[in-house]
Structure formats: structure tokens, C-alpha cells
Amino acid sequence: MQGRQASSSQTVLCFKEEMRAPFQGVLPEISVYFENRDQLARALEVLIANSNLAASTMQHEGSSKRELLSQRHSPREIVQLVQAGRHILLKKTFGLPDLGVGVLEDTIRLDFRPGTEWDDQQINRLFDTLKVLRGRTQISDICLDEMSEHFSMAGTSGFQELLDGESAEDE
């Protein structure tokens, strides 16, 4: 068990280093897999309800043009648009830096820009946000796609070890 704790600590340290690294042109993605579309919709509702919609935007399909979400769409309509393939940029979701949100099948794809704004407090807040989603919905797995080499320990599943293991605050 002590070896697992050391590995988990190393995983958290690697994650923190990657989050703080200068942006290299690739947005890491966290994939949150759900048992069904109803649970996915519930998770989108939670994210949207805890965001600053007055500043959040949605990108139009096939265009770089973005529109403010709060000007034309209710939270329920936003959920439907994201499920239909639109990408949104949520501001201050649970107090986090910007999070991009899209859907692919039964998976929410959260993307974010690494950098100095991801300090320990923000990283811990990200862990807490994922725990909130897991607590309010039926998540089957959480994987950090772009940094998956850090999260492939034997006996663990994707990003879950960071949520199940010791807290990032313990570092």
C-alpha cells in the first residue's frame, strides 16, 4: 500500500507540473464518461449552473465566431446545443479558469489551457469539481487524455486515482 501512495503522490506532482507548464498549442482534455445520456445532461446542467454565463461563449459550427451564451439561450437550451455538437467556453465554472466543454457520444470533453493560472488552489478546485460531478451523476470513468501517460498505473482507471487517492492538498 505504501508503494501505491508514493506512486499516487508522484502522479499528483506530474499532473501539477503539466498544468503549470507554458501553453504549447495543445489543449489537454479530460474525458468524463457516463452510463447514459441522461447522466451526461445532468452533468452539463451542473457545470452550466455553476458558471458565469454572462461571460461564457459558444462557437458557431464551421466558424470562429463566438456568441455570449446568456444573450440567446436558457441553460436547458445550452445543454441541448452541447449535446448536439456545439462547443462552449465556460467562464469561472466553480471558480476555475476557462473550461471548454463539448460532447462526443456519452462523454463530456473538458479542455483547458495549461499555464500559471493553474496554481495549487485551482488544481484542487478542478479535483473538487470532478468529485462534484461524480457525486451528482453516474460517471463510469474520468481520463485525462493529453496527459494519459501519467495516469496508467496498474489497478487504477484513468483519472480516478487522483479523485480516490490522497488529496492534491496533501502534497
Order the strands of the 57-59 sheet from edge to edge.
66-68, 57-59, 87-90, 99-104, 107-111, 29-34, 139-144
Higher pLDDT, 65 or 14: 65
Q: What is the pTM of this model?
A: 0.81
Residue 158 in this model has a pLDDT that exceeds 80: no
C-alpha cell at 100: 471548454
Model confidence at 142, pLDDT cuts 50, 70, 90, reads: confident
Find all residues with CB under 8 Å of 38, minimum gap 6, and list them: none
Residue 139 in this model has a pLDDT that exceeds 80: yes
Q: Each residue of 44-75: pLDDT tens digit? A: 999 999 999 889 999 877 777 888 887 778 88
Q: What's the confidence (pLDDT) of residue 8?
A: 55
Q: How far apart are CA 56 and CA 34, in angstroms?
A: 24
